[in-house]
């Protein structure tokens, strides 16, 4: 049964058309996601449905008998209200009665308390209060906290709580996983998947799309494409559609060349030409000029070489009062390491990053940074710019050109194009960009500064799935070291090869393997207490009879690492035999061989330890 019908919906801002003649419907119980590139009009489309934005033309019709709950990214609440008042003050009858009941209690109005108590009992709504407490607990919100004391992320979670507690038939969610930790995201997945409510959402969390949604709507080139399936099906069918489009463009180009030759041979007098064929020629020309979108980003930037010493933590200690953050933490970072940093809020992730970057001094131990190290740090802060700043100006503030391999250079304009900013956007005012486009521009500034050690704090927030794919492609080719904090499980699985898990009270566990494997291991029932691996001392218990799950992952990874190191050692040894090398080149090769042999010995010794239990 259709619960939402959209017919011929169009919207533009000045000369810029966001979408036109959109027609689609959503059936009862469907879980629908809207995906598109940043700036394509996703949020505007939601606002048109919500009535906060007027469309240029077309109709939006919801079925009359359904209750609708909207989650907006811009909700503003009275600063002197508390969380409980906000989430319970909505159109749900049970909530309204409970809200009035609590106010009557505060006012000591006994007659009103008794009257409302009878109504709540008659409605069998006392369990609603427990449900409110449960949802607030899951989203880690203090019911008594005043709005003015909360962070932006906490306010967004209030918006989500209001929608989930509304008891609505149709939920409209704008980026519901933003500002949620991983436990919350996994809980929300389960909650929405099991809900009978119809859901229409915008989200860039690809695992969330895969688990929850059964219909994907893609807004591209002002048009809407519908895919009846989950995210994997969407990717498959989109690739198929683009392949068909590329084929039709190739055919149009061939026809265009033939027709162009015919046009040029005709006499100049327009009357002698066949008007129908000329009109058809213009249509073919437009078809041949179309481009198939590509989300790939290939920069090939030549960064400064990393030395053998990158960053070393030696018995580092840090605390705030009685709260321990790091307690004797030691670690030596290696070239091309991909470390994911995970843990609940307040366990010390941000403090660790500040120690790494030298923004904080340890209370004990020391952090040693190599001479050739150049950090690139991406934060969640909004990019600052002058009112008249244009997109290309923001890039040129960092550099006019950046070095590429083999002595080549890349201009700021070309770099913008490769980072999914087309030429027609280069002289656009930054103030006109969407939130996701501003994030992408800020990330580009960090990357184009040519760092050899990247520290990324929630880099995928507000990026569309196409920009995230481009970033992943870049990072897969990045030759430096990487530390990333992210709640995007797909991104973490694809980019990182081991994790620093912050468990609180100064405890950091180094887990080999990706995030999904770690979460799967966490969810297994524990039959006995097993000690966690220490990042500075990883020893096998002599009484063990076989490897643990984590050790098996580590053992498999060691085999791959040793093979790569052996290959590099052979290549370096062969290079040393070249009689044409300068003294500086010979010295650099010798230093690298020494580092490779050291890593090889360490990993081989560990492999031997684990092999006893294989």
pLDDT tens profile 457-505: 988 887 888 888 878 888 888 888 999 998 888 888 888 988 999 888 8
Q: Point out the least confidently predicted range of 186-195, 440-449, 502-511, 533-542.
A: 533-542
Mean pLDDT of 495-520: 85
Collect all residues with Cβ–Cβ distance below 8 Å to 250 and sequence separation of at least 6.
none
β-partners of residue 342 are: 501
Q: Residue 193: what pLDDT?
A: 92
- Position 86 scores a pLDDT of 83
pLDDT of residue 59 exceeding 80, the answer is yes
Q: What is the pLDDT of residue 75?
A: 63
Predicted local distance difference test score (pLDDT) of residue 57: 94
Query: Is the pLDDT reported for residue 156 higher than 70?
Result: yes
Question: Looking at 377-386, 540-549, 564-573, which range is the least confident one?
Answer: 540-549
Percent of the chain having pLDDT more than 70? 79
* pTM beyond 0.75, yes or no: no
| Residues 6 or more apart in contact with residue 354 via CB below 8 angstroms | 360
Structure tokens at 492: 């973490």
pLDDT tens track for 336-367: 889 999 887 778 888 999 999 999 999 999 99
Closest CA to 224 of 20, 420, 16: 20
Lowest-pLDDT range, 55-64, 100-109, 127-136, 530-539?
A: 530-539
Mean pLDDT computed over 374-381:
88
Rounded Cα gap, residues 201 and 217, in angstroms: 10
Would you place residue 526 in the very low, low, confident or very high pLDDT band (cuts 50, 70, 90)?
Answer: low
Task: Give the pLDDT band of residue 234 (cuts 50, 70, 90).
Answer: confident
The whole-number pLDDT of residue 284 equals 47
Residue 250's pLDDT band (cuts 50, 70, 90):
low
- Confidence band of 60 (pLDDT split at 50, 70, 90): very high
Order across the sheet with 498-504: list the strands. 375-378, 453-457, 481-485, 338-343, 498-504, 507-512
Strands 68-71 and 409-411: unpaired
Would you state the pLDDT for residue 274? Answer: 55
**C-beta pairs of 132-135 under 8 Å, 24+ apart in sequence:** 132/84, 132/87, 132/88, 132/95, 132/98, 132/165, 135/87, 135/161, 135/164, 135/165
DSSP characters for 564-579? HHHHHHHHHHHHHT-T
pLDDT tens-digit series, residues 251-300: 655 665 665 555 555 655 455 445 555 555 455 455 545 554 444 444 45
Count helices and strands in the chain by DSSP H and E runs: 19, 20
71 has a pLDDT exceeding 70: yes
Region 424-428: mean pLDDT is 88
Cα–Cα distance for residue pair 316/320, rounded to 1 Å:
14
């Amino acid at each position: 049964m259709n619960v939402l019908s959209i017919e011929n919906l169009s919207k533009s801002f000045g000369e810029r058309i966001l979408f036109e003649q959109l027609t689609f419907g959503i059936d009862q119980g469907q879980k629908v996601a809207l995906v598109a590139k940043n700036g394509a009009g996703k949020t505007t489309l939601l606002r048109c449905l919500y009535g906060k934005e007027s469309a240029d033309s077309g109709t939006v019709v919801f079925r009359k008998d359904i209750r609708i709950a909207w989650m907006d990214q811009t909700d503003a609440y009275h600063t002197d209200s508390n969380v409980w008042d906000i989430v319970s003050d909505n159109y749900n009858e049970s909530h309204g009665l409970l809200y009035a009941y609590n106010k009557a209690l505060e006012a000591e109005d006994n007659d009103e308390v008794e009257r409302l108590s009878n109504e709540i009992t008659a409605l069998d709504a006392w369990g609603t209060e427990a449900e409110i407490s449960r949802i607030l607990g899951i989203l880690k919100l203090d019911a008594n906290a005043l709005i003015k004391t909360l962070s932006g992320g906490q306010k967004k979670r209030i918006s989500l709580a209001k929608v989930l507690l509304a008891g609505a038939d149709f939920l409209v969610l704008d980026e519901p996983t933003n500002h949620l930790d991983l436990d919350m995201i996994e809980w929300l997945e389960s909650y929405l998947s099991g809900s009978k409510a119809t859901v229409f959402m915008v989200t860039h969390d690809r695992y969330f799309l895969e688990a929850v949604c059964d219909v994907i709507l893609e807004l591209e080139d002002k048009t809407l494409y519908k895919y009846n399936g989950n995210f994997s099906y969407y990717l498959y069918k989109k690739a198929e559609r683009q392949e068909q489009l590329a084929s039709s463009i190739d055919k149009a180009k061939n026809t265009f060349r033939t027709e162009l030759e015919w046009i040029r041979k005709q006499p100049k007098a327009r009357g002698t030409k066949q008007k129908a064929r000329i009109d058809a020629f213009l249509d073919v020309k437009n078809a041949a000029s179309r481009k198939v979108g590509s989300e790939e980003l290939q920069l090939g930037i030549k960064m400064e070489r990393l030395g053998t010493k990158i960053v070393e933590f030696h018995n580092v200690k840090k605390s705030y009062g009685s709260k321990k953050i790091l307690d004797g933490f030691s670690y030596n970072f290696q070239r091309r390491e991909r470390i994911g940093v995970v843990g609940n809020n307040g366990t010390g992730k941000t403090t660790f990053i500040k120690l790494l970057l030298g923004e904080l001094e340890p209370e004990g131990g020391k952090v040693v940074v190599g001479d050739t190290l150049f950090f690139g740090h991406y934060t969640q802060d909004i990019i600052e710019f002058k009112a008249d700043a244009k997109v290309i100006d923001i890039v040129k503030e960092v550099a006019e050109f950046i070095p590429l391999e083999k002595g080549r250079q890349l201009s700021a304009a070309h770099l913008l194009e490769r980072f999914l900013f087309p030429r027609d956007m280069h002289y656009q005012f930054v103030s006109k960009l969407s939130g996701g486009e501003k994030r992408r521009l800020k990330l580009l500034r960090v990357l184009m500064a040519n760092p050899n050690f990247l520290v990324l704090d929630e880099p995928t927030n507000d990026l569309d799935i196409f920009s995230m794919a481009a970033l992943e492609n870049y990072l897969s080719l990045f030759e430096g070291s990487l530390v990333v904090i992210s709640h995007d499980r797909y991104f973490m699985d694809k980019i990182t090869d081991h994790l620093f898990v912050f468990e609180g009270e100064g405890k950091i566990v180094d887990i080999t393997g990706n995030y999904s494997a770690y979460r799967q291991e966490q969810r297994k029932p524990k039959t006995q207490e097993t000690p966690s691996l220490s990042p500075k001392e990883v020893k096998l218990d002599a009484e063990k009879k076989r490897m643990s799950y984590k050790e098996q992952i580590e053992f498999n990874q060691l085999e791959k690492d040793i093979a790569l190191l052996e290959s590099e050692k052979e290549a370096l040894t062969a290079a040393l035999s070249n009689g044409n090398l300068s003294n500086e080149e010979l010295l650099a090769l010798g230093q690298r061989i020494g580092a490779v042999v050291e890593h090889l010995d360490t990993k081989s010794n560990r492999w031997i330890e684990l092999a006893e239990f294989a």
